[in-house]
Chain A
Amino acid sequence: GDSVTQMEGPVTLSEEAFLTINCTYTATGYPSLFWYVQYPGEGLQLLLKATKADDKGSNKGFEATYRKETTSFHLEKGSVQVSDSAVYFCALRGDSNYQLIWGAGTKLIIKP
């Protein structure tokens, strides 16, 4: 079945560092891919998405490119801030169902 694998955390960086959180997936067909973010004490919210190969999703300085050849959707940000500290979830929605398949989440800690 479909699955999502993302890098284990926590990831600890200093403010203004470059961020990459890896996400790879297994799915048949052409899934849609998502990054959600969970700030402390809150529910998840959509950060960005890509619905077809080579699409780049972007929001709040974060970017991720749908790479079908490597089945990846890595999250990047050029210069992180303390306010980016959160848990980040990669997810996919397959062709044939309406459910989201979730990665385990990666906790990001940004130190001033």
Chain B
Amino acid sequence: DADVTQTPRNRITKTGKRIMLECSQTKGHDRMYWYRQDPGLGLRLIYYSFDVKDINKGEISDGYSVSRQAQAKFSLSLESAIPNQTALYFCATSDLTSGGHEQFFGPGTRLTVL
């Protein structure tokens, strides 16, 4: 079983629609992250959370919001999707006790906004 799961794996939507991407983990990690990946740009951090009550903006949070419903669940929302949010989205986790050195990634969600 995968330790970090993301749903859906693929999504096509239209401009202006609200979209939620979900992430669940069974690793027991306290830290969770949302990234987007665009060709030639590497990974860019959208939001991160160090525990249920701690949410922080990353490099590119505009147009996104998140919810940490439980230690194991971290959702990313696009309130009104636009075409330049078309990208591959990854959730990741890390463990406080290891200093966050290693992040564990989900398989990604490919989002297309038409």
Residues of A within 8 A of B (CB): 32, 34, 41-46, 49, 51, 89, 93, 98-100, 102-105
Give the residue of B42, B43, B102 whose beta carbon is less than 8 angstroms from that of A46: B102
Number of A-B contacts (CB under 8 A): 48
Interface 1/0 per residue, B38-53 and A, CB below 8 Å: 0011111100101000
A33 CB to nearest chain B CB (Å): 10
Tell me which residues across on chain B come within 8 A of A32, comparing CB atoms. 101
Residues of B within 8 A of A (CB): 4, 31, 40-45, 48, 50, 58, 90, 92, 94, 99-108
Evaluate contact between B107 and A45: CB separation under 8 angstroms: no
Evaluate contact between B41 and A104: CB separation under 8 angstroms: yes
Evaluate contact between B107 and A99: CB separation under 8 angstroms: no
Given A99-B45, A102-B43; A42-B103 close (CB under 8 Å): no
Give the residue of B48, B99, B105 whose beta carbon is less than 8 angstroms from that of A43: B105
